[in-house]
Structures are given as C-alpha cells and as structure tokens.
Structure 1
C-alpha cells in the first residue's frame, strides 16, 4: 500500500511538472522568468526606458495657448473661454470650474479630490475619477495653473456627458449635453456563455477620409454603438500619415491643427468606449508610396534590423507622447517575414496578425518568448460592401478557426448621418441595416461577443 502511495505521488508530481511546462501561464515562477527575459531584450529595454521617462518627466509646462482661434458653443451661446483654452500635443485643456459652470455643475475642491455635482469624484494625485461605481483613468493631465485645475476637453466631455460637433469652416466646437453612452446604465447587459470573437477597425489615420467634415463625429457614433451593444473592438491606427502626392506629412504629436485635435479627441473617445489601440505600422508606406495604400516592411520595404527598430520605436514614442497607449501591433498588409516578426515580439505582447511561421487560424502564443500572442483574421475583411458573403463565412466557419475579422469604418460612415441645427443642436441617425450592425447581430445570434484583446 505504501509503495502504491509513493508511485501515485510521483506520478502526480511528474504530471504537475509537465502541466507547468505546457501551460506556463499557471505558474507564476515560469511566467516571471519569461517576463524577465522579455524585458532584457533590446525592445523590452526600450519600453522600460520610455515608461520610466514618461513617469518621471512632468511636462505640464508644455501646456500653451492654442496657436489658432477656437470657439466653444453650448447650444447657441459662445463660452467665454477662448483666452483660457490651452493645449498640449493636440489635446485641448479647459479650466474645470469655469467650464463646468456653463453646464450648471457645482465643483467642490479639496487637497485630494474634485467633486463634480453629486455624480463624479476626481482623484487629483491618481488622475482618475469614479463614476457609476467605475474608476476611469483620465486621458489627459490635471495641471494646476493660476490657482485653477485644468482638465482635458475629452475628459470633461466624458464626465459631463457632452457630445460635440467640430466645424472645420470656422474652428467652432458645438457642445450638447445629452445622454451619450459613457455609462453602464446605457449598455445592453452582456449575455452569459458568450463565445469570443474579435473585430479590428482598419486603417484609421489623421488623413484622407478622416480629415473630411463630419467623419470623426460619425466614427464616434460608431464606437458609441459598439459600447451600447457591449461589444469591444480594436482600432488599427497609423500614427504618422504621409501622402507624397499631396506633399502631406502629418505627425499628430507635432503638427498643431484643429483637425488633429479632433482626431486625438476621437481616439480618446474610442478608448473610453472599450476600444484597444493597435499600431498599424509607423507610416504604413515605404519610399514614394502614400500611407494606407503602401506597405512598410517585408522584403520590399524597411527590412534591416536597424530600420525596423527605428520605425517601431518612432511609432511607440509618438503614441506615448500623445498618451494613446498601444495594446498591440499590426504590420501593414501583413507583409513581413519571420525575422521581422521576431523583432516585433520584443516590443509587443499582441501581434494582431498571423504568425508567418505557421499562418495560424486561431490565437497562438509565440514559441520564442512564450508571451506574445498572434491574433489572426482568418475571415479577412468585407470586400465591396458584400456583408452577405461575410455573414455566410461566419456561419460556416470551422470550429478550429477564430471568429476574427477586420473592417474599414470608412465604409460604415456612409450609414451614419450627422447635422447641426441652427440652434446648435447636434442631430444624428444611424441606419439599422448598416454592415456593422448586421455583423454584430449575426454573431450575437450565434452566441459570440466581440472581446477586447486587452483581456487575452
């Protein structure tokens, strides 16, 4: 009996050891070793350095007057704040007390907190606020200037439930106080036992279609819809937009403009609606090609180790500068090779693309570092507005294939309609038969829900 007990004990020990090797995630010791190895790579050291620099350096002194005229309107009333509007990296800042009074909000301030009416408590040192029993990080800073706390325009709009319309004709921002869906009370409850699916909004950049009037308003309405439906999504963002044909080189961390401020405001909005930001290259182009249509890496792009690291680090630096934290990376057009992907793995724990080594149809973990996950999109994308084919592919997909696709929201904006009334009211409608709504309805019926890549 004693021998049997010893043998069974040995078997259990051996099986446990094998399990830990196969599933390193369940072993804190193995996981910590992988993290340490990851942080000791060249990419890992860069990430630690840039994180340290961001934490240590207080750059609130970089807040300056907006170098062009911007007018804020609440309905038809112009807010007398033009001379107090500040900016940093295309994110506007307003004096919190003075701004809030236009909307009938009482502000109480002590050494630790700012209370806005009875609904929101803002923690000064931690730069977050509590609302609907949730703690939400500020998208911007909270500097104290001339005896007044300043807050980013996107944050105060989120806190006070404000919607906006940005008029490019005269740099006017029209503000309405409405029940914009930033509260859990406006979300549909998540159904139980949902299977995971993934969707990525592709080719979002501060250029081309996203510089047209109303487009960013429409994109915000699309992300509002996803939030209301309790559906997560990712945004594939090209940080620096280059159009050699039109002689455009737009870096949103350097080029101050009303349109770029609207773009940063929209990225903030997307993050607050459950969106995860994925860096989609640095410029999504090579040589004389234009962003989006061109590639960037692969054999016919930037392919030396020095070039690849420079572009990765430039993209991450730009994103860090404007406080749009990336959750992952996607190589433009998936044009890369295994050697390049090994470098990408040093900088990102999510590669939103298939592994070139395996070309996987489901999510896998890197054999190299044991941490980076490859998320493929085996369902590809909707071509020529043909949503019916996509739905058929979703319904007939194999069980070993991830329900993962990408979609260009530049198509979806045709289903969203926005206008501004003479009294300053923002009006919008969203077609019930839009492509995205059909896809969301389809996966919901099949028992799926779009999951955040941050939860992997």
Structure 2
C-alpha cells in the first residue's frame, strides 16, 4: 500500500512538472509570437523583404564629380563610364581586370576570374579558396559589360586603396602577403567570451579627414587576423549645427561618403557587426556625437522615437548595411523607450533601465532581446592603463565588455605611398587596442561575436 502511494505521489509530481514546463514554454512561445507582431518588428521585416522597384533598378548613374584612379602611380583610363549608386562605384569588369593581367569568363550564371574567384550572378556571391562571400554591392550588365562594385573588386583582387580628397583621386596597390608570426601560439576556441564595441563611428569630424578611414581599415585587419570579433556603433546621419553640416550618407554624394561606405563594407567583411548608435546622436541645436538624442530631456514622444529609429534603419537599408544591434547615444534613455527599441532590435548594446545589469540578460518583456552592458567602461586616458586595470580586476558578476573610440586607436597607424605607388602601413605594436587584446587573451578570453549570443 505504501509503495503504491509513493508511486502515485511521484506520478502526480511528474504530471504537475510537465504541465508547468509546458505552460512556461507556451508562455515563452506566445511572447515571442507577440514580439514578431509588434509595429517595430513589422517595419524591420518590411525593409528586409522590400522589393527593388524599377526606379531603384535604374538608379545607376555617372559619378557626379571628377574622379581618377591610379595603379602604382599610373592613371587608369577606362573606355566605358564608371557608374555610381548610393555612394558606391561600379567598375567595368573586363577593363579593370586587364590592368592586373586578368580576364573573366562567363559561364551561364557564373563569372569566372581565373585563379581568383567565381562570381555567382544569381546569388550575388563569390567563392574563393572554398569560402563563399556575399557581394557588398550590386551587379549590373550594360552594353555587354558587367559592372561590379569597386569594393568587391578590391576584395577579390586583394587591393589596398588610399583616397586623396583634395585631388579627387584613389590610389591602388596590391596587398603584400604577410606571413603569420610562427612564434605566436595557435588561438584556441576559448570558452570565455569578451566583447568590444568601436564607438561613435560616423561620416563626420575626424573620420572624414585625409587618411583616417584607411587607418580604420588597418585596425579591422588586425582584429580579423587575430580572429577577434568586434562591433561598430554607427551614427548614420551626422549633424554639426556649428558649421551647418547635415550629412546623410544615403543622400549626399561625395568622395568622403563613398570612402565611408567602402569602409563599412570593409568592416563587415572583416567580421565586424554594425549597429545603429541613434539616428543623429544629437537633439535640436546640439551637434552629433557630443549631444544626446533620447531620454527625458531628448526626443521622448513615442511617434518621434519610432520615426528616428525607422529613419536610421532606412538609411542602412538604402546603402545595404545590415544592422545587428541598437545603442542609445550616451545611454540616455527611459524604460518606455527601451520597450520601443526592443520591437526593432534583438540586441540592445547597453544596460537595461531599472535593472542596470552588468551581465548579458534577456528582456523580461519580449523574451527575445538581449541587453549587453559595458561594465569595463571605455578608454578614458592616453595610455589605456585605466581600462587594462579594470579588465584585470574584473569581478565575477561583471561581463568583460567595453567600448573604445577608433579615433584614439588610429593615432597609432601611419600611412605612406612610396615612389612606386605602393601603399605602406606602420601600426604601433604597443597601441592601446593591441594591449587590450593581449590582456584579454592572457586572462583566457577572446572577443566574441554578439550574433552568437
């Protein structure tokens, strides 16, 4: 009798447990289903699935300013026009390849560049060394000539570029094949993940000065070569009311903006995740980057907040930059505003208001959005000693997560063009970023990809 009673009791407990698990799973499923039916989620899906209309298909045009290309100091002359769309250049493929002793063969839906890559015209990808990569630009055929974006050609042909804004010229040279330092230990797939975000990246201020974006690309090379992931907080519309500047990279045509889009493409191809750091990172008469945008003292009406988020997404969509996260400028936001942001983004790269988490958490509202805090802070000195100290003394309840302004790091990168037209780089081995990476590695961490969360 006693044995029967115990079996009965265990059965009841088991059934109740199953019901509770089922209830929680159903509740979680319903919350996620609700998330995908929000205003924000619908806007994101509409942007992703938006069909390219005829106007967009026919929006290729000639470059709206004079531009010259130089290969090893020799001017490149093209018989056919170089085309242009959304601050990307489109180059006649056969003419460009001829300067490098290459030519293409078209086989049905593939363009074959011998010993380099196969381009899939339908999927808009290219394959090299058994690796398939998405083309960052479009493919156009006009007058029996294929046009491919300048960036994609530089990737396939392994080219460095230097953009001279004063001369409206782009200098090109082949990348040198550098050997991996054999003395450096082989990187393992460590269990512990750290996270780094490059902050306040925008087409304005220091980043449109001569040579700045080339230096940013060198930093991305370093991270990629060391298998370190990173994120980039992008402000898509730069406003400086002091100098009457309003720069939307999806609308304003300029060589600086083309170089900026080229660099965003480069960061993406080096394993970077690009996110939106507000729309303008400013409020009313203030300037981008120094100003805030949201919060109790910023744009706070729900319609205003949604409009600014959606305008930022539209810029990214128009210039074909995939967005991985949202970060509110200066973290100045409210609980209600974060609820709105959650509808549009599965990752919010800041602490959750009211919780102020120091570890990564999942939203209690939609059970989908992750909040990534940066308890290590940012580099706020000239030598990085403070951030290195905080990393070494990290507490167990803190994420090893930080942010860093690339405008500081690029001071340690020098660029020059020699008499043969070769583009040369010197990158200080003791730069702050390299010290941070070495410190993180010594503690058994590596910078992880936020998409893997």
Q: TM-score, normalised by structure 1?
A: 0.93
Q: Please, which of 221, 225, 236 is the counterpart of residue 222 of structure 2? A: 225
Matched, 1:262 2:240: no
TM-aligned CA distance change 1:374 to 1:109, over 3 Å = same
Task: Give yes or no for the alignment of 1:198 onto 2:195.
Answer: yes
Q: 1:95 to 1:19 in 2, by over 3 A?
A: farther
Distance 1:33 1:145 in 2: 50
Q: Would you say 1:437 and 2:434 are equivalent positions? A: yes
Does the C-alpha gap of structure 1 residues 143 and 441 become closer, same or farther in structure 2, counting only changes over 3 Å? same
Q: 1:274 to 1:20 in 2, by over 3 A?
A: farther
Tell me if 1:234 matches 2:231. yes
The answer on 1:126 being equivalent to 2:123 is yes
Which has more radius of gyration? 2
Task: State the match for 1:252 in structure 2.
Answer: 249
Q: 1:394: which partner in 2?
A: 391
Decide which of 314, 317, 323 is 1:317's aligned counterpart: 314
- Deviation digits for residues 222-246 of structure 1, max 9, x if unmatched? 0000001100100110000000000
Alpha-carbon spacing, 1:168–1:372, altered in 2? closer, same or farther (3 Å): same
Query: Which of 393, 397, 420 matches 2:417?
Result: 420
Q: 1:305 to 1:67 in 2, by over 3 A?
A: same
Match of 1:377 among 360, 367, 374: 374
Contact 1:211–1:259 (Cα < 8 Å) also in 2: yes
**SS of equivalent to 1:197:** strand
Q: Return the match for 2:37 from 21, 25, 40.
A: 40
CA distance in 1, matches of 2:170, 2:370: 41
Q: Does 2:359 align with 1:362?
A: yes
Q: Distance in 1 between matches of 2:5 and 2:171?
A: 81
Residue ranges of structure 1 left out of the alignment (5+ in a row): none
* Kept after mapping to 2: 8 A contact 1:71/1:82: no
Q: CA deviation at 1:76?
A: 2.0
User: Which secondary structure does the structure 1 equivalent of 2:90 belong to?
Assistant: strand
Counterpart contact for 2:140–2:146, Cα < 8 Å: yes
SS of the equivalent of 1:143 reads: strand
Q: What is the CA–CA distance in structure 2 between the aligned matches of 1:118 and 1:8, rounded to whole Å?
A: 68
Any idea what the Cα deviations from partners look like across 1:356-413, whole Å, max 9, x if unmatched?
A: 1200000000011000000000111011224112111111111120000000010001
- 1:302 and 2:299 aligned: yes
Aligned counterpart in structure 1 of residue 206 of structure 2, from 204, 209, 217: 209
Contact 2:116 2:157 in 1 (8 A): no
- 1:3-402 matches, within 5 Å, as 11=13, 14-15=16-17, 33-54=30-51, 59-81=56-78, 83-179=80-176, 190-402=187-399
Q: 1:33 to 1:102 in 2, by over 3 A?
A: farther
Distance 2:295 2:60 in 1: 40
**Unaligned 5+ residue runs, structure 2?**
none
Inter-partner Cα distance in structure 2 for 1:436 and 1:154: 26
Give, in angstroms, the shift of residue 20 of structure 1.
6.7
Moved more, 154-163 or 381-390: 381-390
CA contact (8 A) 2:201 2:233 kept: yes
| Counterparts of 2:185 and 2:210, CA distance in 1 | 30
What CA distance in whole angstroms lies between the structure 2 residues aligned with 1:31 and 1:104?
Answer: 58
After superposition, give the CA deviation of every residue in 1:117-139 in whole Å (9 maximum; x if it has no partner): 12312111111112222221111
Tell me if structure 2 keeps the 8 A contact 1:72–1:81: no
Give the 3-state SS of the residue equivalent to 2:409 in structure 1. Answer: helix
Any idea what SS the aligned residue of 2:262 has? helix
Q: Per-residue CA shift, 1:321-365, capped at 9, x if unaligned? A: 000111010000000010100000011001000001200000000
The RMSD of aligned alpha carbons is 2.3
- Three-state SS of the structure 2 residue aligned to 1:369 is coil
**Distance in 1 (alpha carbons) for counterparts of 2:206 and 2:329:** 18
Q: CA deviation at 1:143?
A: 1.7
Matched position secondary structure for 2:242: coil
Deviation, 1:55, is: 5.8
CA contact (8 A) 1:60 1:141 kept: no
* Paired residue secondary structure (1:326): coil
Question: Contact 2:306/2:340 (CA < 8 Å) preserved in 1?
Answer: yes
Farther off after superposition, 12-21 or 222-231: 12-21
Q: Is the 8 A contact 1:161 1:180 kept in 2?
A: no
